[in-house]
Structure formats: C-alpha cells, structure tokens
Amino acid sequence: MHTRGKAFIAGIFEHPTRKAVDKSVAQLHAESARGALEDAGLSVEDVDAYYCAGDAPGLGPLSMIDYMGLRNVRHMDATDVGGSSYVLHVGHAAQAVAAGKCKVALITLAGRPRSEGMATGTAPRNYGDASPDVPFEFIYGPTVVNMYAMAARRHMHEFGTTSEQLAWIKVAASHHAQHNEHAMLRQVVTVDDVVASPMIADPLHRLDCCVISDGGGAFVVVAPEIAASLKRECVKVLGCGEAPKNLMSGQVDLTYTGARWSGTQAFEEAGVAPGDIDYASIYDSFTITVLETIEDLGFCEKGKGGAFVADGNLISGTGALPFNTDGGGLCNNHPMNRGGLTKVLEAVRQLRGEAHPAVQVKDCRLALAHGTGGSIGTRMGSATTILGRVDA
C-alpha cells in the first residue's frame, strides 16, 4: 500500500519563543498544539491521533494526551529516533490515515534546553549504562559536536571537502535568517566569519553548529475528506521514507547517512526525482549534516557536496537548491535540540506561498523535508518526506 496523496498537512505552528524560562515543557507542547489546530481550523475534539517523541514529558503520549485533554484519541505513536522523529511521524501518520485508523493526527515537539543550561553539544553524552554500545564508546568522551566533527574529518579526507565549503552552508542559512524576526541569529555571515570562529572540535567551528533554543512546534496530518472541508490551504503528503544507520558491527563509515535509503523510499513513493524538488528543508544540526544529506538524497554525486553547496547555491533566489529558508537550525531555531519538526513547517510554508517574501521560492510545487536523529553515521535515524501543493 502506498500513501501518495492519501493524507494532507492541514495546520502548522512554530512556537515563537527561543527562551522559555517561564513555561514548562508540557505547556510548550500544548501551546504549539493549540497553534497548529487553530491554523488548520480544527478543534481539540477533532483530534483522533496523537504522536510525540522523547521530548514529551512523563509517559509520552499517555501523559500529554491527558494534559491536553484530547478525548477522542484512537491511534498513538511515540517512535523516538531523535531529531528525525517528527519527519518520520509524517509518514506514520499518513500511513495510519490511509489505513483508516484516524483522520486528524496531531504531532507536537517542545523543550527548554536553553533555560535549563544544558551543555548540548560539548558534554559527553551517555545514552544510559544499559545501552550495549555505551561501555565501548562513552568512556572516550563522544559529544554531539565531536561525533559530527569526525564525520567531517573523514569526508574531507576522502573527498577533499574544505572548511570553506562547509561554511557556505552557514552563510546561506544566515542570508535566510535575516528576514525571520524570530530567528536567534539574524546577522548575515561570511565564509571568513565561519572559519575564523572558535574551533569547538576539529574541524568544526562554533558557526558550523546550530543554535540551542527552547521552544517547540506542531503540525496536523489529516485525511483527504477533512482537508477538503477546511478553508485553509493544505499540502499533500506524496512520499515518505525512514532508515537507521549504525556502527554496522564494526564496519564504521561516517561519510554517508541513512538519507541514502530514506530518500530513495520517499522519491519512489512520490514518483519524483531530486531534480523535481523546488525547495528542501535539510536537517542542519551542523554544516556537515547538510552536506552529507544533500549527497545522499541525490541532489549531487557522492563526494561532490562541497562544490555543490559553495558560492551561494543554497540561497533562495540565486541558488539551484533553496534550503532552510527560515534560517534552519543553524540560525533560526533548534527546539529541544531536535530540528526535524521545524523542517516540516518551513516546507509547508513554502508550498503555501507563506514563506517570507524575500525567500519565497517562486511557484513552489514540490518540497522535501529531511530529518536526522542521534549521531551521524553511528546511531542515527534518517527520515524523508516529500510534500506537494494540492495540484502537484
């Protein structure tokens, strides 16, 4: 069973906060849910499915469904694959809708790592002593930044990728973020600014990293008959894919991601090719995340990502592949250290023609959103979704 065209995204909301000292995590989830339902023109009573991931407090859906007073839920999914979860949820929601299990699925994300002073990228991250890989890795001090840095180093070694090429990804994101009033970093930066910023973990500089922000967001996936009944413009879910990528029993390869497989699934289901995509939301925890993903999704040949992203090729209006026109995680928002949900939101804005006029892609008919979770190449989730305008 394919799900092409059998579900729609009807409402979206990005919480405007970037530092939420006065709000709880549950409250941020609920405020995001309210915003997305209002955007869709739906009510709490209409929601019959709820999806969340590891950022939801307590017992995930069991706690949040109760907190928000969702009384009609008959389908749930709490798949947690890190920051890629919410892109994966688009696919799972579309499948559930297509199977007739639900008609209005609400997906939320929220968190407050900034208010809680979390050393997101630079403190060694222990997935729990019971995780079987932890004894053989955690002791050596893997952090989010140095794990991605090791991928960047290997990519540079195999393909000649340079720090300056990676820097172009941040430069493009900053060109977009200047137009987003909610973005954390609105100043346009240059390649020189990026490579001159302090080294965090070789070869990644501070400006190769995304922001750390509080906040959240939500979106609503609905059945075709619901979409047809709403005044708001909905976008069609055309194809979805998901894939794990891991240590592969010791055959570690950090030069590619699970996007190789999730992207193929999504393109096949949608019946389109990378060259058909008008706009792409690419997960951007770090510049290297974008570069490898662009290659793995087939926007360019493997190893040619450096040349592809250089010279402004990702900047809307001038480049061949406009990406992350909200400023992305690199400049706008990376709520709860999970950038997957905001990737979906900007893709929907582009398809509705509601991105900022300075970055809106002309006649945007097909968009892609890609999520990355966990740690690149070693214990990662990859999820891709392809969305289209109703007439696509």
Q: Are 223 and 7 in contact (CB under 8 A)?
A: yes
- How many residues can be counted in the chain? 392
Q: How far is CA 285 from the centre of its chain?
A: 9
How near is the Cβ of 124 to another protein at its closest, in Å? 8
Name the one residue in this structure whose structure tokens are 């987003």: 180
Single out the segment in contact with another protein by CB under 8 A; choices: 10-18, 61-69, 133-141, 257-265. 133-141
Residue 368 tokens, joined: 């892609």
How near is the Cβ of 268 to another protein at its closest, in Å? 28
In b/e form, how buried is each residue of 56-94, taking b as 16+ CB within 10 angstroms? beeebbeebbebbebeebebbbbbbbbbbbbbbbbbbbb
Residues touching another protein, count (CB under 8 A): 36
Which is closer to another protein, CB of 30 or CB of 195?
Answer: 195
Which is closer to another protein, CB of 43 or CB of 122?
Answer: 122
Distance CA 175, CA 172 (A): 5
Of 199-258, binders to another protein (CB under 8 A) are: 199-204, 247, 249-252, 254
Residue of 16, 43, 157, 192 interacting with another protein (CB under 8 A)? 157
Which is closer to another protein, CB of 249 or CB of 363?
Answer: 249
- C-alpha angle with apex 255: 194 to 341, nearest 5 degrees? 65
**87: enclosing H helix or E strand:** helix 85-98
Single out the segment in contact with another protein by CB under 8 A; choices: 25-33, 36-44, 128-136, 170-178. 128-136
- C-alpha angle with apex 206: 205 to 207, nearest 5 degrees? 90
How near is the Cβ of 364 to another protein at its closest, in Å? 38
Single out the segment in contact with another protein by CB under 8 A; choices: 147-155, 164-172, 287-295, 360-368. 147-155
Extract the runs of DSSP E, i.e. beta strands, from 193-338. Answer: 199-201, 204-205, 215-222, 235-246, 279-282
Residue 158 tokens, joined: 């195999």
Site string for another protein, 71-110 (x = CB under 8 A): ----------------------------------------
Which is closer to another protein, CB of 167 or CB of 314?
Answer: 167
Q: What 3-state DSSP class applies to 222?
A: strand
Residue 13 tokens, joined: 């909301």
Site string for another protein, 329-368 (x = CB under 8 A): ----------------------------------------
Residue of 62, 139, 228, 273 interacting with another protein (CB under 8 A)? 139
Which is closer to another protein, CB of 90 or CB of 291?
Answer: 291
Question: Does residue 198 belong to the site contacting another protein (CB under 8 A)?
Answer: yes
Which is closer to another protein, CB of 7 or CB of 149?
Answer: 149
Question: Does residue 44 belong to the site contacting another protein (CB under 8 A)?
Answer: no
Inter-residue long-range contacts of 15-19, CB under 8 Å, 24+ positions, other chains counted:
15/110, 15/215, 15/216, 15/217, 15/335, 16/182, 16/215, 17/214, 17/215, 18/114, 18/182, 18/184, 18/211, 18/213, 18/214, 18/215, 18/333, 19/114, 19/115, 19/213, 19/214
Single out the segment in contact with another protein by CB under 8 A; choices: 31-39, 125-133, 267-275, 314-322. 125-133
Residue of 145, 223, 330, 392 interacting with another protein (CB under 8 A)? 145
How near is the Cβ of 242 to another protein at its closest, in Å? 21
Per-residue CA distances from 296 to 8, 64, 86, 280 (Å): 26, 35, 20, 13
Report the interface residues with another protein, using CB under 8 A.
Answer: 122, 129-130, 132-143, 145-146, 149-151, 153-154, 157, 198-204, 247, 249-252, 254
